[in-house]
Structure 1
């Protein structure tokens, strides 16, 4: 049986160098999704599965110079690409697995996660770990710059009823993991589910 972590690392290591060139127009979609998190000035936020760090500049802009921005990713090559792009100036990069974050419980105001959920080995446990590091009342954004149907079409797949990002699957999954979904958008140009950390 293959190791899920190794599979994810291999997938992203092979794509890290040209990742940003493949998706050059996603910046405004990231910024709009970050804006919907409603981060406070001076807030503390984690970009979980940050990849090349495309969310770090809008996250930094949202929390301001006194805020804390962290980017965690499992794949060294993605973090190296983030550094080459200068995005480490907007947030501290951590080589870390979202299954076991090196962060104190309740230490964050929010988690932003772009494209992460499809790569989680144990979605319920992993979302529970994200909940652990967020204070009660803090927020989670599950984002993708393409909606489910557009993403499936890009990869030559059909949407299936088991798709984790389908609202009827995601809402109870989040609830079991310590989150309450507050909004759900799935349109051609973006996917964005927002949730609040339950007390």
Structure 2
């Protein structure tokens, strides 16, 4: 597990300082994804793998001043960048692994996760951990500001049948991890999967 953490940290640490400048136009896509999550005022929500905290202001706006917003990330440099950007004012930042969260069972109403799924070394157990901390009927959003095909093209790759984010692969994985797939969107402008915590 330490090697998996090191790999993630080695990838993100040198990119943290200029991460936001690399994707300056993603704000509206994040806001729309947060809106699709359907949070209510006063809700408690976690941004899992929050990075520089780009979703935190929209999450705060959705849950209001009485709600609770948490942002967890494995890479300290990304959280430091979130603080420099002032996003710690929108939520409490936690240096934590999404596979082992320091949160009570059923303590959250929802989880938002942007770009997280492709960085999980053990997706099934990690999704089950996200399910553990969400109350029955709570919601999960797996988001990326561009779709699978556009992301693959950006990296000079092609989509393969074994892509974890493909609906035939992700749907059963969610089911086995305590979630029920609610909607699946994969288009050039966004990737957004919404799921509901099973009873």
Q: State the TM bucket, normalised to the shorter chain.
A: over 0.9
Moved over 4 A (4+): none
Match status 1:128 vs 2:110 = no
Match of 2:58 in 1: 58
CA apart distance, 1:101 = 0.1
Partner Cα distance (2:132, 2:124) in 1: 12
Q: How many residues align?
A: 199
Tell me the equivalent position of 1:160: 160
Hey, what's the Cα distance between the residues in 1 that align with 2:139 and 2:99? 18
Which residue pairs with 1:25 in the alignment? 25
Q: For 1:48-197, list aligned pairs within 5 A.
A: 48-197=48-197
Give the Cα separation in 2 of the matches to 1:119 and 1:100.
15
Give the whole-Å Cα distance in 2 for the aligned partners of 1:67 and 1:55. Answer: 15
The unaligned stretches of length 5 or more in structure 2 are: none
Could you tell me how far apart the structure 2 residues matched to 1:127 and 1:47 are? 13
Gaps of 5+ in 1: none
Question: Shift of the alpha carbon at 1:14?
Answer: 1.2
3-state SS in 2 of match to 1:25? coil
What is the alpha-carbon distance in structure 2 between the residues aligned to residue 2 and residue 32 of structure 1?
Answer: 35
* Pairwise CA distance, 1:2: 7.9
C-alpha distance in structure 2 between counterparts of 1:139 and 1:104, whole Å: 16
Aligned equivalents of 1:94, 1:57: Cα separation in 2: 16
Across the aligned residues of Structure 1 and Structure 2, the Cα RMSD in angstroms comes to 0.9
Post-superposition CA distance 1:167-187 (Å, at most 9, x none): 000000000000000000000
Paired residue for 2:41?
41
Distance in 2, Cα, partners of 1:14 & 1:113: 21
Distance 1:80 1:10 in 2: 15
1:193: how far off?
0.2
Secondary structure in 2 matching 1:80: helix
Structure 1 pair 21–195 and aligned structure 2 pair: CA distance change class (3 A): same
Q: Could you state the TM-score of these two structures normalised by the residue count of structure 1?
A: 0.99
